[in-house]
Structure formats: C-alpha cells, structure tokens
Structure 1
Amino acid sequence: MTAFKHSAADTRLLRATGDGLVGDNRLAVSEARLTTESAGVLQVQGTGGAPARSVAVRLLPAPGVPADVVVAPAALVQEHRLTPDEGWELVSADALTPAVLELELPSGPSLDEATAILREAPLLCGHVFAHGSEALPDAWVDASGTLFRVRQALDHGGQVLRGLLRIGAETRLTLFAPGGRSGVDIVVLADCSGSMSIDDIPAAARDEGKWLGRLRSGSAGSTISRMNALKDALGSMIDARTRYDGVGTRFALVRFDHDQEPVFPARWGMEEVADAHSVQQLRGAVSLLDFRQSGTDIGRALHKAGELLHRYGVPGNDRLVVLVSDGAHFAPLPEERSGESLSGTQDPVSLMEDLHSGLDIRLHAVGISDDSLFDRWWQAQRHHPGWTPQAHESMVPNHRMLGELVAVAGGDRQRIGGLDVLEEYFAELGSGVVRAVGRPARPRLPRLQLTSRELAAGPPRRATSDPRQRRTWEAAVEEALIAYSRVCEASRARLGYQLLRSSPPDDFARLRRQCADRADFTAWLSVTYQVFNERLHAPLRRPRKDPAVLDLPALSMPFWDGRMAQLHELRNFYHHDRDMEERAEHNRIAGVIIQKHTGSYAPPESDADAWRALQLGLVRDLAALLNEAHSILDAAPGPDPVPAVPEGTAAGGARIKSQGYD
C-alpha cells in the first residue's frame, strides 16, 4: 500500500453533506495521493485536557479532488470537533478482514427484514471500523441507514479479531437476535462416545448452589471430563433461555455414539421449554447424560436431527442443529475410497449440505477440548502404568469434520475449547439466535456530492505555527491557567471567596487554541475576556482611586496596573464601531497595545505571526499578573474566625472580611 498522510499543516479540509460518496466514516481524497481505497485512521488532538482520539475511517480516491484536499462528512467533523487548520492528521493503515462478522439485530426491523438490509447494503463491503479494545466504545456498522452493533469478529480459525478491521468480499455476515425477539427450533446432538470420558477440561471454581458446582469446585489445576463440561454448559443455556417469554421455540436433546437416543423429550419429538415444569424436566434429562465405551456416527445423528426439525419444528422459526463433540473418532476416507458412492449417513458433510440447501437447516459446531488441553492432560498421566508418549488417536480431539460441516451449513459458528468456550456459547444460544446472512453485496459507490467548483472554491489552507512556536504558546497558556487555579484556591483560603468565578471547561479549551488570523484572535479574545475580566470579583474590575475599597488593598497593584485593562480595551476596539468620534482615544490606546506586542499598529488580517504574537503577549501578561496576585494572597492572613471573645470586644487582624460577589 502506498504511504499516505495528510494533516492540517498541508491540507484543506472540506465538509460534505447530503447523500453521496462522503458519509458515515467515508472520506474522499485525491487519486494522485491514493490509487485504491484503503483503511485509515484520523487522529484528532485533544483540547482542554481531553485525550487525543483515533477514528477509524474509509479512504476513497475520487476524481476531481485536489491533491491538498480531504473531503469529510460534516457530521464527523462536528462530532469530533475538527478544526480545519490544526489538531488533526490522517494516515492510511492496514486493517484485518474478518472471516466472520457477527452483528446484533437492532430495534425496529424483524430478523427477516434486518437480514435483507444487510444482504442488499451497497456500501457494507469495504466498511472500516475499530473493535475489541477495552478503550473503545461499541462499534457500529451503518447498513443503508440502519445501525447494527458489532458483537464479534472472528478469523478463519475462529479466533477473536481486535483492532482496525475492514469488511471484505469474503466476510461471512451473521446476525444475532436476542431471545425476546426470535424463535428458533434447536436440536442439540450430544456426543456420548467413550472419548467423552477423558477429563482434560480444566475446572473453575463456582459458588455452591450453581449448576453442577460440585463438579467444578476443587483445587487449582483440577479437571473434569468432557462429558461433565458439556452438561455444565447445557445448564448455562437453560438458565439463559428461561429469561425470555413469549417466543415459540421447540427443543430436543439427543445423545449419540454409534446409535441415537432421545434425552429430551423422553420420546422422539420436540417440546417447548416454556414453564417451570419443562425446565425442570430438561435439567433432569441433562443430568442423566453419560458416555458409553463406543465409537461415533455423526452422519446418522445429523439425519435424525434433520428429521426432528422437519416433522416437529414451528413454521417460520429458524432451524438449528448444535453438534457438540470432541471429534476424536473422525477419520477421513482414504484416497483409494474417495470416489466411492456412499449412503447419506456415511458422508456427513454431503448430508449436512443437503439439509441446509433443502430444508434451510443450519449448523453450529462446538468442539470440546483442543490439542493443547489434551496434551497438557496427557503429559500429566505419564506416571500411570502403560503410558506412552503418543496417545491413541481415539483419545485426541479432532475437529476437522466439525469445520467442514460448518462450511457447508451456511457458514455459522464453530467454537473449539474448554469449559469457558462451551459456557459462553451455550449462554448465548440460550439468550438468542444467530442467523447466517451471507457475504456482503458487491460495493456500489455513489458519486462525490461536491462539484469541481466547490472543490476548487474551498478556503485556502491557513497558516499553522512551527513546532517551536507551538510549544512556546502551549507553555505560556499552561502557566496562565496554573496561576488562575492558584489564585482561585488562595482567594478562597484568604478571603473566603474566589476572585475569579468558575468557567465552563469549553471556555478553557477555546482559550488554549492558537489563532491564525484576526477573526480567530477576535473569537479567542471574547472568551479570554469572559474568563479573566467578566468573571473577576467586581470591585477589582475597574481601577479606583482608593484601594481601601478592596478587602485586600494590595491586590490593586497587579490588577490595576494596566495589564488587565488590555483585555477591556482590545475587546471594545474589535467589537465596537471604531469610527465613532468618542472612541478616538480608546482606539489610540488599543493601537498602542497592539503595537507593543506585534510591532505594528494595524497587522494585516491574515498575518498569522502578528496575531499569535499579540495573543502570546496578552497571555504572558495575564500569567505574570496572576502570579503576583497569588503571592499577595499567599502572604495575607486567612479570614477572621468566628469571634470567641466576650461580646463588645473587637477581633484583631488585617482588614479582610468574607463577602460574595457584587
């Protein structure tokens, strides 16, 4: 990917509104700078003490965009408070493409309607987002105006993806619908072959009284069997599903090895788990699950599951088979038999493909244990008689077939792991249903909504300060604000009230902003005047002949020596009609102030260096004034305590009294 970088120092930032290429987090850039679309990161500098932000964006080269222009959605500019001429940088970045992206059904559309929206959304393929970091809020995907929350993104191995992600043409989309809004008929096929007796699943402590807590309590490092892990996870599903009422859902639990046997209901069929009695029956059935010393026939089990869903399912409900197995007995056909004609049950993958295409039955596969869990357990058995370095293949978990089954059944979930993986999966299964949506539609990008005239007529890039000038400014502002805080704290302690009333955080953020022209300076001056003059204790705002009117007369020296008056004179100069005859003397005073800080009585409107010099000079004067005021306050005694002397006796001390603002 060609290196790409834009910043406020070299780029004009234009805003776009309405429908078109630029919208959501899609930005248009010059084809001369970026030849193919890319993921990117918009880095926004924090203001007013706020942290910097990184925004995931989709960069789209567009005809007619000048090389020094970036076109951004107006809503994004407003949301992140982008200032066109400072504080942002745009760079291209590598993004991972999920193999599976699971979204959550939003309020409003039904499951069918939301599925159709995702399948037809023309801008979904290529969408860029950030997901999975604790520091990031929930990620949302906009599909034709409908927002979907991202639940998880997985790679081809089923591992969770985090960071900067991009939806690709091969990404399989799935949609999670909470149990309160979805109906799903479920057949759980529980592997009860001999290998399920192996206790290579790490246990985890749980409070007494919880489902099968007795199986999970024990010393650190203890394990439970694959069968008990399955029973525990099924308990999590039951707990979750009972929280949702009013959804027509039927359920069946089937144990299988070489044969199949109904567990719930007790006879072949499906039943709703909708009341306390049926819940109790299901719990009892789960507790009776146990392994047998026999092999596994997954094909016959799938055939029975398809028959149950076809005969007993609720019309309109999703149809789901959940296959839970360690897969330890799976052995692929040898090459010399690969061309044989097999019965359906002898070829589980082809059978599942037929069930999906003919009856719209989907499959989730949950693989119990994995190579690392088994190997850790097997090495711990080395002291047992008959142990060998290589375990028999009938014991080792093998999830290859589970992956092949998932691939032909709509690309739904495959989970592999220990107790935590099983519990997480079954808790989600109990709380809702996941539907396979398919792959995103081919992208159909609209045209850029700005004309060539609008692109060319954008405001010229305004000058930005060099790094040293910027550091000097930031240090001066920081000193002034620290002095402001110290004066507020010291005046409360010495006078009993603040000399400067509190200001909103946004005012301090604007006060920190360095200007680039006269319009910027005028806006900055208004805020600075409010913070330091309008909110100043009233007796200090206007110089008087007699400082004795002040509670602490010594404060007259820093506040009345002309430095604070600069704000007043300049504010009136830039906000009033300067041509009025009665303003002549004040205009002269303002000119002297401007000349003192800039060397010119009337700097050009676009002379950034001059306006920044004026801004810097005023801030430095304010910092010095406030530091002097703090020294005076720090040396003064505190407010008089409540008199503890007999009535009629005056308390001594400086002439300091507690009072409010005028």
Structure 2
Amino acid sequence: MTAFRYSAADARLVTVSGPGLVADNRLAVSPSRTTDEAAGVLRVHDAGGARSVAVRVLPAPGVPADMVVAPAALIHEYRVTPEEGWELASTDARTPAVLELELPPGPSLEEATKLLRGAPLVHGHVFAHDLQASPDCWIDASGTLLRVRQVLDDSGRPLHGLFRIGPNTQLTLFAPGERSGVDIVVLADCSGSMSIEDIPETAGHEGKWFSRLRTSSYISRMKALIDALGAMIDARTRYDGVRTRFALVGFDDGQRPVFPHQWGMEEVSDVHSVQRLRGDVTLLSCRSGRGTDIGGALHKAGELLHHHGVPGNERLVVLVSDGAHYAPVPDERSGESVLGTQDPVSLMEDLHAGLNIRLHAVGISDEALFDRWWQAQRHRPGWTAEAPEHMVPNHRMLRELVTVAGGDRQRIGGLDVLEEYFAELGSGVVRAVGRPARPRLPALQLTPGELAAEPGRRVAAADPQRRRTWDKAVEDALLAHARVCEASLARLGHQLFRSSPPNDSTRLRRQCADRAEFTAWLSVAYQIFNERLYTPLRIPKKDPAKVLDLPQLAAPFWDGRMSELHELRNFYHHDRDMEERADRNRTAGAIVHKHTGNYAPSEHDTDAWCALQLALVRNLAAICNEALAILNAAPDPLSDSEKPEPVPEAGPGDSGRIRIKSQGYD
C-alpha cells in the first residue's frame, strides 16, 4: 500500500450521492496517489472537537491528484466543511479471522445467510469496532444493515481496533435466542487429564458469572467446565416459545449419556427440566487412565441430532476438551478404508456436509496456563522439567474440526473464556456463512468530464482569509437579526421576524462555491429575512404611516437592498430562459454585476458567487442594524393600553379551543 495524506489545505473535497462506487464509507482518489484500495481515517476538526471515521479508499480513473470524492451522506453526518478542518490519511488495518454479525429484524437466518454470502461490497470493507466512545458499527450487505457483534482472531479471542475484511475472513451470523431454535449436543471430555487443576479459580457472586475477582487458587479442568455450563443454562432459559432440544454427553474412550439419562435429546423449557439439567451437570466426573476418543463422541452426537432434533432447527455440536494428539491420515494412506471414528476430522466434514451439523470447539486450558501450574509443582516428588505428553493441552485437532465444520467459533482458555462462551451460546446461535464474495465494484458516479470541471472550485475554497471574512459577516447578520427581534418585541409588542428553525442558521452559515450552492443558500436567506418578516414591511407602500406603527422602519427595508434579495431569489428559482421574464433577467443581471462586476458568472466561478453571497449578507446585517437603531431611538415603548391584549385563559366553555391574536404576519 502506498501511503497518502490529503487535507483541506491542498485538496478539494467533492461530494456525490446515489448508488455507485462512492457510497457508504467508500471514498475515491487518484490512482496516482494509491494504486491499490486501502484503509483510511477521515478526521474532522471544528469548534465541536475532533471526530474520526474509518473509510475505504479506492483509486478511480479520472480523479485528479488533488481531489477526494466522498459520499454526500457521510460528509453531512460528520458535519465536514469541504473548505477547511478535514484531513484524510492512509492507515494500517488488521484483517480479522472471524467477523460475527447480528441478524437484524426482518429476514430469517436462512435469508440473511444467503444475502451476506452474495454481498459484493463486503470484501474490503473498512470499519472500527469497540473503540473507546465508538458507537455500534453496521455493515451494509446489499442494502441490509448488519451490526458487528464481535471480531475474532485465529484462536477465537476478541479483537478491537480498525479492520479491513479480507478474502479469508470467515463471516458468521448470530441469531438472538428469541429468533432461533437450536438443538445442542455438548460433548464433555471426561478423560483423566481433565482432573488436572491448572485453571485459575474465580470467586463468584451468587451465580453472576462475570462479576468475579481473581484469587490465587486453582480448580480442575472438569470443575471449570461444570461451572461454565451453568452460564449457558441461565442464559438459554430466558427465551420462551423457542423449541430447543439439548443433550449432554460425557466421553473418554467411550460415551455415556448425562442428560437425559437415556440416549436421546430433551427440551429444556420448564422449571423441572432446568432443575434436572443443573443436577445432572454436577454429575460430570473424570475417569483416570482413560483416553480421549473424539471421533466416537462426534459419531454419537451426529446420531442424536439426526434422530432426535427438531426439524428446521440449527444443529450444533459443542466439543469441550483439553485436546487430543492428532495426526492426519498421510497422503500415501488416503486410499485405504479407515473406520470413520478413527479420523475425527474427516467424520466431522461428512457430518457438516451431509447433515448440516455445525461444530463449536472450546479448548480448556492452554500451554501458558498449564506451564504456570506445572512449574508450581516443582516441589513434588517425581517432578520433571518435561511434563508427560498426555497432561499438556493440545488443541490442534479442535482447530482442524472447526475448519471443516463451517468455520464456526473456537475458544481456548480458562474459566473466564468458558463462561463467556457458554453464556453467549445460551443467548443465541451462530451460523457460519463462509468467506466474503469476490468484490464487484460499481462505477464512479461522476464522469471524466464532470471531474475535469471541478478544479475551478478550489481557488476560493482554499483561501482562509476569505473564510474568516465570511464567518464574521454572517455572524454579524445573525446577531443583528436576533437583536431586532428582541427590541421590536419590547417596543412594538411583536417581533419584526418570526422565529426560524434552528438548522436554518446553520444552513445560512454555509459559504457557497458555485451557482447551485448559492441558489440553495439564497433560499434559506430569503426565508429568514423576507418570508418571516412582519407583513406590513414586506411590500413598500406610498404612505408607511398608514401601515406601520413606527413609520421610520420603512426606510431601511424599502430602500432597495431587501428587494435585491427578493429579485435574485425569484430569478434563480425559476426558468431564466422564459421570454416573459426578460425584464427580470436584466434586473437580476444588474444586481449581480453591481456586486461581482459580471452580469452572468459561470457555474463554477467561485470568486463571483462568494462575492455576491457576501454582499447580500452584509446588506441584511446593515438593514437589521439600522432597524435596531430606529427601534432604540423611538421615544418610549408602547403604553400598556396600546399593547396587544393578552389571550384570556380558557373558560369552562372554551375547552379544546386555541385563541390566536394576529400580529400582522401571513
């Protein structure tokens, strides 16, 4: 990846809308700046502080080297001012091994799986997850928004930071418990190695599985499994009306049913069945001297799900083990007839392909936990520096099983990892979707000709002095407007301008760069200063004393400056080529020429449009300031007898009616 950096000081920010290459958080830049798509961060600095958004940056032919093309919706959401206060820089992003998305309301798990599997723009998507003060992150899969639930590494550990979905990222969908039925067979390793006490104990608080404090004592791997299964029972029993069957099988070199007591599966849906399950979980125990036949256990789990599961439910095997030593069948023996249970990985591959059975693997303990425990045993007789092989946790087979079973989740660790996993399992079901579809990028919304027409906008936009002049002028106008409203209410009993929506002042502050932006700004200025003006002041009369309580106010409003705003608004918001508007064309042209020196500026003559905008806003500020001086110089406020009558309170017969006293507005 070629590093790059853009900023408002040396680049133009052009916005587009509608479907196309630039949408969502995808931005386009020149191929001369980066030949490959990359992760980037768009930073915005303004009076509200600094904000950052993760973006996907794509090279697009025809984009000039000093231009960034961005989605209009994104720029609006993050309140980016194209002329200043932003920068775009390339950055490093990790590729997650597993991306887990949450099923949204509406589509079924099957529908969402199909949708995500075929979404052409997920591959390469850049996003930030679980950063400090970061809101929920959503990924657009062909128009359906999926919330990022968690991001995992190869070992199933959660990751945080900036990510880019790669070709080998495994996509999974999480369906909450209230929306999914899942039949679960938990295979609990009961071999002799499960009695090893290398799991750091956590002190519980009355069954609250996550509010615990570390202690220095250890518990056995089997005790950790029993504790963690309680988390799943607590979580899964919260969902009523979802048919789910469950089986718990203990295995070593053979298998035995733990729940239910006979071979089969049972719904855990009432208090009685939950209590029995809790009691049976505590009966799990290790048998010393026994091996670990994972193939036989998987075969039994497949039988249970096939014969006793609920039609239509997810089929899930959860294998919990400290591992087993695994040697794949060598290529030279690949043609031999091998008993299925002797090759667990091939067996699991067949179960997944033939019966749609998925597998989660939870590895108890790990090499680091075991080594700390083993070193603490140095004082015991017979201790050796090299621990016996059968005691050391080995999760290679678990990883192989997860890979062939659809890439579902894999966790390895101590009690905290176990409890977190089983609590999540109780709250819903995860389905592996697979790798993202190959990307099919749409075309850029702007043509080469339209891109070439953009450079004229940059000259004025990059001038910080012009921006400061504009900011002061528009603030002066808004301040004068507010003071006139306050003074007129005190002197006349009503405001000269009706109140405007709060976002109108924000829109008025926008400095234009072309005719389209000037026209949009002109509409807002006209609404604030003309449409909401006190009606008797809007249309000049021969004798202002007949229509105005304070006739002196006619002078600033009727001297031609307000009519310039009116004439330009009517001209730019109607068809300028109509023959009957020829006189108005000349009038508008004269106003434009007066302030810019040009009768008809080109569409992208930023100098002209900014000059016209500045002249108008200064006129409006001057009108308001002159009106304010007239109001303040008036002899006295109106007497109490001359003020508008207050609206009487509703009496018994006026229930539900609203009385409005006219103040002379339309």
Q: 1:428 aligns with which of 424, 430, 454?
A: 424
1: CA distance, partners of 2:382 / 2:548: 97
Would the alpha carbon gap of residues 7 and 530 (structure 1) be closer, same or farther in structure 2, given more than 3 Å must change? same
Q: In 1, are the aligned partners of 2:64 and 2:451 still within 8 Å (CA)?
A: no
Structure 1 letter corresponding to 2:263: W
The alpha carbon displacement at 1:161 in A equals 3.7
1: CA distance, partners of 2:474 / 2:340: 78
Query: Unpaired segments of 5 or more residues in structure 1?
Result: 641-649
Deviating more after overlay: 342-351 vs 435-444: 342-351
2: CA distance, partners of 1:592 / 1:441: 57
Q: 2:276 aligns with which of 281, 299, 324?
A: 281
The alpha carbon displacement at 1:168 in A equals 1.8
1: CA distance, partners of 2:438 / 2:419: 37
Aligned counterpart, 2:58: 59
Q: In 2, are the aligned partners of 1:517 and 1:611 still within 8 Å (CA)?
A: yes
Q: Secondary structure of the equivalent of 1:203?
A: strand
Q: 2:250 aligns with which of 234, 255, 266?
A: 255
Aligned counterpart, 2:566: 572
1:104 aligns with 2:102: yes
Would the alpha carbon gap of residues 368 and 566 (structure 1) be closer, same or farther in structure 2, given more than 3 Å must change? farther
2: CA distance, partners of 1:22 / 1:88: 18
The alpha carbon displacement at 1:511 in A equals 0.5
1:526 aligns with 2:523: yes
> Deviation per CA, 1:130-180, whole angstroms, max 9, x where unpaired?
44344334412324x555443322222323344443322211122223344
Would the alpha carbon gap of residues 255 and 510 (structure 1) be closer, same or farther in structure 2, given more than 3 Å must change? same
The alpha carbon displacement at 1:639 in A equals 9.6
Identity %: 58
Would the alpha carbon gap of residues 137 and 564 (structure 1) be closer, same or farther in structure 2, given more than 3 Å must change? farther
Alignment of 1:73-222 (within 5 A): 92-107=90-105, 109-133=107-131, 134-143=133-142, 146-192=144-190, 194-195=194-195, 197=197, 200-205=200-205, 212=207, 221=215
1: CA distance, partners of 2:558 / 2:34: 51
Aligned counterpart, 1:415: 411
Structure 1 letter corresponding to 2:228: A
Q: TM-score, normalised by structure 1?
A: 0.73
Q: 2:607 aligns with which of 606, 609, 632?
A: 609
Query: Unpaired segments of 5 or more residues in structure 2?
Result: 647-660
Structure 2 letter corresponding to 1:233: A
Aligned counterpart, 2:653: none
Aligned counterpart, 2:502: 505
> Deviation per CA, 1:435-492, whole angstroms, max 9, x where unpaired?
222223334556x3879xx532568224242122223322433454455556667877
> Deviation per CA, 1:304-329, whole angstroms, max 9, x where unpaired?
434433443345543322122455xx
Would the alpha carbon gap of residues 576 and 197 (structure 1) be closer, same or farther in structure 2, given more than 3 Å must change? closer
Q: Secondary structure of the equivalent of 2:158?
A: coil
Aligned counterpart, 2:663: 661
1: CA distance, partners of 2:271 / 2:14: 62
> Deviation per CA, 1:93-118, whole angstroms, max 9, x where unpaired?
54332211223345555444443444
Would the alpha carbon gap of residues 521 and 50 (structure 1) be closer, same or farther in structure 2, given more than 3 Å must change? farther
1:38 aligns with 2:34: no
The alpha carbon displacement at 1:235 in A equals 3.0
> Deviation per CA, 1:236-295, whole angstroms, max 9, x where unpaired?
323333344554432111234565432210122222223443233223323444556666
Q: In 2, are the aligned partners of 1:522 and 1:574 still within 8 Å (CA)?
A: no
The RMSD of aligned alpha carbons is 5.6
Would the alpha carbon gap of residues 570 and 195 (structure 1) be closer, same or farther in structure 2, given more than 3 Å must change? farther
Would the alpha carbon gap of residues 308 and 582 (structure 1) be closer, same or farther in structure 2, given more than 3 Å must change? closer
Would the alpha carbon gap of residues 468 and 582 (structure 1) be closer, same or farther in structure 2, given more than 3 Å must change? closer
1: CA distance, partners of 2:203 / 2:560: 73
Q: In 2, are the aligned partners of 1:124 and 1:167 still within 8 Å (CA)?
A: yes
Would the alpha carbon gap of residues 562 and 188 (structure 1) be closer, same or farther in structure 2, given more than 3 Å must change? same
Would the alpha carbon gap of residues 343 and 232 (structure 1) be closer, same or farther in structure 2, given more than 3 Å must change? same
2: CA distance, partners of 1:443 / 1:92: 21
Aligned counterpart, 1:455: 448
Aligned counterpart, 2:651: none
1: CA distance, partners of 2:130 / 2:158: 9
Alignment of 1:157-556 (within 5 A): 157-192=155-190, 194-195=194-195, 197=197, 200-205=200-205, 212=207, 221=215, 225=219, 227=222, 229-257=224-252, 260-290=255-285, 297=292, 299=294, 300-327=296-323, 330=324, 348-349=344-345, 352-353=348-349, 355-357=351-353, 359-368=355-364, 399-445=395-441, 448=443, 454-456=447-449, 460-461=453-454, 462-464=456-458, 465=460, 466-481=463-478, 484=481, 500-517=497-514, 520-536=517-533
The alpha carbon displacement at 1:632 in A equals 9.9
Aligned length: 626
2: CA distance, partners of 1:266 / 1:249: 18
2: CA distance, partners of 1:293 / 1:498: 91
Deviating more after overlay: 429-438 vs 33-42: 33-42
1: CA distance, partners of 2:506 / 2:21: 33
The alpha carbon displacement at 1:188 in A equals 0.9
Structure 1 letter corresponding to 2:663: Y
Structure 2 letter corresponding to 1:455: P
